Amino acid sequence: MSKVHLGTSGNPPNFFESEFKKDRLLAPLWIDSIGLNAYEVLFTHGVKMSDERAQIMGDNAKKGNIKLSVHCPYFVVLTSDKEEVVLRSRERVKKSLTRAHIMGATSAVLHPGYYNGTNPFSQLKKELKNLCKWKEDVGIKTTINPEVMGKKSQLGSVSEVIEMCSEIEGLAPCVDFGHLHARDGGFLQSKNDFRIIFEQIEKGLGKEGLRNLHCHFAPLEYNDKGEIRHRAHTERDYKPHPEPFCDLIKEFKMSPTVISESRDSQDTAAIEMREYLKKINYW
Ligand SMILES: [Zn+2]
């Protein structure tokens, strides 16, 4: 078995060109057919998948030996000062977790929110703590993974994400290296820049926390406010580049899940990364 789980965020154009295109629930089998081993199910605009379909998704992932994760809806704002927004956000996270549990997904990625309200960070931590308690009570093992966000107006710097995850049981980070790069003005250039981040994660979350890291990866375009848009891996002017990232995965002997978010080329970017990992004898 390979040391790294590598896959796509949702379905890129190539999926819709493939023989599997007739049903999105076949995506894990498509992933297997192209030699990858992870897949992130996107609940971007709401959790519309039934329990029954979640079960089929999970069965297909088992058949293909694919590690599944889900991405909670974008409209989850646990930091809101509007009660009804927080209530609806909680329900959306619970619904995501329920489907994730049925399909056997290990992680549920969540956007932490914004710097709004009176004390957004402590409000967020309180909400996440309650959600983790809820999932433990109902027997859901899927972790909630607050994501490192790309815009400075969004809560979710790498330090904030590490802090939440070290304080609350049931959380694990989603380190989006493209976001991190864009948020910090093009931070990830050399191998040493990646090393700084890896060491920060290891310090905050321990060896196991780093070893099993859930990552998003894509080159990003940014300005002084942070993220503008995701770019394709073939656009080499945009960073971060995968090679120093893969070198460090090997150096730290990690066994991470890396979800490719390369624009319209999640699959080919992940395959390129796999080939590089093979080249350095770490696949
Ligand atoms: Zn995200």
Domain that holds residue 237: 5-279
**What residues have a C-beta under 5 A from ligand 1, the ion?**
147
The alpha carbon of 9 and the centre of ligand 1 are apart by a number of angstroms equal to: 9
The alpha carbon of 263 and the centre of ligand 1 are apart by a number of angstroms equal to: 14
Specify the CATH number for the domain of residue 116: 3.20.20.150
Nearest to 67 by CA among 80, 76, 57, 55: 57
Query: Is the entire prediction scored with pTM above 0.95?
Result: yes
pLDDT-flagged residues of the chain (< 70): none
Nearest to 160 by CA among 148, 177, 174, 142: 148
**pLDDT in the model for residue 73:** 97
Using the 8-state DSSP alphabet, how is residue 36 labeled?
Answer: -
**pLDDT tens digits, 181-227:** 999 999 999 999 999 999 999 999 999 999 999 999 999 999 999 99
The alpha carbon of 243 and the centre of ligand 1 are apart by a number of angstroms equal to: 22
Other beta carbons within 10 Å of 126: 13
The alpha carbon of 138 and the centre of ligand 1 are apart by a number of angstroms equal to: 25
The alpha carbon of 103 and the centre of ligand 1 are apart by a number of angstroms equal to: 20
The alpha carbon of 192 and the centre of ligand 1 are apart by a number of angstroms equal to: 25
**pLDDT in the model for residue 118:** 82
What's the rounded Cα separation, in Å, for the pair 177 and 230?
12
| Number of domains into which the chain is organized | 1
**pLDDT in the model for residue 116:** 82
